[in-house]
Each structure stands twice: as structure tokens, then as C-alpha cells.
Amino acid sequence: MTKMLASVVDERELELAIDAGVDIIDLKNPRTGALGALSLAQIHNLAARCAGRCPVSATVGDLPAEPLQLTTAIRETAGSGVDYIKVGFFSDDNLTACLRAIAGLGEEYAVVAVLFADLDPPLARVGEFAAAGFRGIMLDTAGKGGGGLLQRIELTRLEDFVAEARALGMLNGLAGSLQREDIPRLIPLAPDYLGFRGALCERSERIARIAPHRLLEVREAFTLSDGQAGQTVA
């Protein structure tokens, strides 16, 4: 069953997401980039407040493909008490060196790679991420104003991406300005999770506050889509 990930920025949003039954809490600062990071102190506080009620991931920020900088950020973010550390790869520049450096961390930390559908993602190299010990991989969008994931990449390519990640034993997810209406189209691909931020917020603006009614609408869309999928299988 596909789970729901919600990106939150503070204690209020964290509690709203947990109360709504969100499956994974993602700690991110949408004001500072596609994978903008909260401060380590904020991450630590929010992970502690979650207190094991659901898994927590955190982004390390929009960092360059520099091995030492990435490995340092992974260690520091992991030390804040989160379950998953998300690292963005905005191109395949220096990718081999980065994967080699991060490979040494795979057994100790649950690192999730994030690729970007609007930046010519290295989808042919998904197997290399698995070989480097990444616990998971997801496909997102870097630009948040030019259409969502389904406007940036064909549904068949998403299906192939999910299937390959699953075959490699990797946790997999799809995100990128997803809207409630996208859920019925993506659930049949059976990704492990779908990630949301803007669709949960007032005026659908990712830098605005999460609106409780929008959060519940997206959560209910998961329930409805899962039920319809079950009826189709039956």
C-alpha cells in the first residue's frame, strides 16, 4: 500500500500531520530550495517531538555534488535523531565520486537519494545507488513553478522507475508539486510513498502554512484511491 509523506516546517505542522494519519513526516525548509534544510537544532527538536509516532526524514539542503560536504551533512543530520536522510543529486556531475564516498555510510545510516525529473535525472544509474548502499530513492522536481511531476515526465517512465527500485530492494517515492488529483493516477504504480507539500498548504503555496482541511483532503484521497484499487483487483 502506498503511504503518504508530508513535509513540515514546525511543531504545529508536525502535529497536524500526525493527527491526520500521515505515514512519514519529512522535515524541510521550502523557502531555501527544493530540498531546503531546517537547522540541525530544529530537526532535533521536531524528531524528538515526534517521539516515534511515525518515521521521520530530513533533507540536508540543496548541496553541491561534493563528497566531503555531502558525507558531513549526512552524519550531522543523522545525529539529529531522524530515521531517513534525504540527499539531492541535481545532475550526474561528480556522481561517481559522491556515490563512492557515501557508500561507506550505507550500513550505519538510512540514506535516500533524490533525483529531479526536470533536470535530466540519471535514471539509468539507479542500480549504482543501490550498490552504494542507499536505503531508498525518490523522484522529485527541482522547479516548483512550472508544473508538477506528471507534467515533467511520462507515466511509463515513472512506472519503470518504481519497478526498478522495488526490484533492487530500495524504498521508493514520488513527489514534485503533486496535487490531490494526481493520487489516483500514481497509486496504481504502487510506489512506497507519495510526497506532498504545496497541495497541503494555504493557496497551494509551498511556503505558506499547512491548512488542516487541505491536509485531510489529501489524506482522504489516499483512502479512496486504495479502496478503488482493491475493488479493481477483486
- Positions annotated as catalytic residues are 28, 86
Compute the distance between CA of residue 65 and CA of residue 167 in angstroms, rounded to an integer: 27
pLDDT band for position 86 (cuts 50, 70, 90):
very high
Task: Count CB neighbours of 45 within 10 A.
Answer: 18
Question: pTM for the full model?
Answer: 0.94
Evaluate if residue 230 carries a pLDDT over 60. Answer: no
pLDDT in tens, 2-56: 999 999 999 999 999 999 999 999 999 999 999 999 999 999 999 999 999 999 9
3-233: CATH architecture: Alpha-Beta Barrel (3.20)
HSE-up of residue 130 (Cα within 13 Å, Cβ side): 15
CB 6 within 8 A of CB 36: no
